[in-house]
Chains A and B, each alone.
Chain A
Amino acid sequence: MLLERVRLSNFRNYASLDVEPAPGLNIFIGSNAQGKSNLLEAIAMLATGKSFRAHREAELVRSGALVAEVGGDARIAAGRLRLRCSIDRSAGSTRKTFDVNGAAVGFARFLGRARVVTFVPADLALVAGSPALRRTFVNAALAQASPAYYRDLALYAKIIGHKAALLRGAVAPDRDLLLAYNDELLAPGRSLMGARSAFIAEIAAASATIYERWHAAHERVRVTYAPNTGKTDLAEALAANVDNELRRRQTLVGPHRDDLRFELEGRPLAAYGSQGQQRTAVLALKVAEYEVMRARAGDAPILLLDDVLSELDAQRAAGFLAALDAFEQAFLTATELPAGLAPSIAGFVVRDGRLSRLAC
């Protein structure tokens, strides 16, 4: 897909903005705190309906304003797409509304109309950080790709919430109720595990090719799905742990405790890989996510890269930039124009919530 126009009003430090990005690579250059990342955040919201970094969505509304809006016009395989997301904080709490091609829709129907793959500095912790980070990566990608996955995930989380409250003692202990929750978890739980297993297998296959392309075969990392239940069927694993869960008073089994495993020559990458190898693995994972999403949707997602070059050494950065040629449309933020870029790129200078086209 191709984002042809982005409009912001009262979003973060942008009072108003109307920009027409180019196909291929778009670079936003500016010093810190000028609004580079805010632009990527806005574009990501058009796909995911959520901010990838705000803790409170009221932060998205420019100070002094009550309503922020992000709008985008895109060309997709199926035609044209007009998206709008507005964030209203006038009523004390924040309320978001969405529309697609002029018609109001709920969050679930907005999600995934546009698709993005985001890469932010925090993603570099994917390998060594907590399993929750890796689950979020998988969930975010799959929720964009499939409304059914998002629905199963929301249902599963609700059931687990009640089950955890029961085990914690929010209501009187009740073994039958625990078993009822275990029964209820099976259908959405199995769907989630099936979707994750298929997706991660595709990611693993795609990332192998990416290592080839980067001539980094010596760094090749294998990524595999590590379900919390191992090889055991979910129903059996839940049944086998009923007493355990009652004793420990917490949920112990199920896909809410799944993980992704990164291995370098059969050993855990987090423990045995260098910083550089871990970063390359994350880059490969993200590019693989891009390839898998493109193959599944028959349409390329938009790639958003927030300040990633500064995290890479010169050689890796050069290799990465060279690979960006293959993308239909990408947005990159940087503090200065990177060396060795193709002349065809569209550069923008970001300064205090304003954009100007860079002559190059």
Chain B
Amino acid sequence: MFHLLNRPRADAQALADAIVALKDRVQLCSRCFAITEDDPCDICCDPQRDAALLCVVAEPKDIYALERTAAYNGRYHVLGGVIAPMDGIGPAQLRVRELIERIALDDPREVVVATNPNAEGEATALYLSRLIAPSGVRVTRLAYGLPIGGDLDYADEGTLAKALEGRRVLA
């Protein structure tokens, strides 16, 4: 605040305008429910993106995490949270119906469920796979594992146990 008081009025006005613009211009994409200025969002409009690959995330910020990997070239669907009846959140409070309708319409090859690896994220993934299964679409889940460049010695037992369960054949 003291910094702003020392700046010209124009700077304060610019900041105020930017905040108002954020509220006015930023909206949810009507297809994937990501945060965007244009509807549909850049990812949904990008013809280079694989339209047959759909990644389900809990929150819009998860998209940015996955985009930073540059390893995913499909589209997204934002649920708006995870299922947690103890907090009053069921499928009806999330964009589950929209997801099922979109799958029926787009008929993707694969749905990747990228919810967090905790009790709620796992339940949400299991629930979605039950709903999607009848459509015959392949449903996958992100693998659990060790951080790259990490040290076995520092991994917590839970992660290490999961990494052991999900081990790959080398030879």
Contact = CB atoms under 8 A, between A and B. Distances in A.
Contacts of B92: 171-172
A162 B127 contact: no
A246 to B, nearest CB: 14
A161 B118 CA distance: 14
Contacts of B85: 162-163, 165-166, 170-171, 177
Contacts of A170: 85-86, 88, 90
Contact of A147 (B86, B126, B157): B157
A181 interface: yes
Interface residues of A, number: 23
A148 B161 contact: yes
B80 to A, nearest CB: 15
A161 B123 contact: no
Contact of A177 (B90, B93, B122, B158): B90
A184 B123 contact: yes
A162 B89 CA distance: 10
Contacts of B161: 148
Contacts of A163: 85
Interface in B81-110: 83-86, 88-93
Interface string B4-44: 00000000000000000000000000000000000000000
Majority SS at the chain B contact face: helix
A235 to B, nearest CB: 14
Contacts of A166: 85, 90
A151 interface: yes
B157 to A, nearest CB: 5
B68 interface: no
Contacts of B93: 171
Q: How large is the interface on B (under 10, 10 to 19, 20 to 34, 35 or more residues)?
A: 20 to 34
Nearest to B161: A148
A317 interface: no
B119 interface: yes
Contacts of B119: 155, 158-159, 162, 184
Contacts of A147: 157
B86 A184 contact: no
B130 interface: yes
Contacts of A148: 157-158, 161
Contact of B127 (A108, A151, A172, A177): A177
Contacts of B91: 171-172, 174, 177
A313 interface: no
A206 to B, nearest CB: 27
A176 B88 contact: no
A179 interface: yes
Contacts of B86: 161-162, 165, 170
Interface string B100-141: 000000000000000000011011001100110000000000
Contacts of B156: 108
A33 interface: no
A163 B90 CA distance: 11
Contacts of A162: 83-86, 119-120, 123
A180 B128 CA distance: 9
A183 interface: yes
B123 A180 contact: yes
Interface in A170-203: 170-172, 174, 176-177, 179-181, 183-184
A280 to B, nearest CB: 38
Contact of B90 (A158, A172, A179): A172
Interface in A138-172: 147-148, 151, 155, 158-159, 161-163, 165-166, 170-172
Given A151-B158, A166-B90, A170-B86, A176 B123 contact: no
A252 B80 CA distance: 31
Contacts of A159: 119, 123
Contacts of A161: 86
Contacts of B90: 166, 170-172, 174, 177
Contacts of A184: 119, 122-123, 126
Most chain A beta-carbon contacts within 10 A, residue among B91, B122, B123, B161: B123
A158 B91 CA distance: 18
6 contacts: A159-B123, A162-B85, A170-B85, A171-B83, A172-B90, A177-B127
Q: Lowest 10 CB-CB distances: which A-B pairs, in order?
A: A171-B90, A165-B85, A180-B127, A180-B126, A158-B119, A166-B85, A165-B86, A170-B85, A171-B85, A176-B130
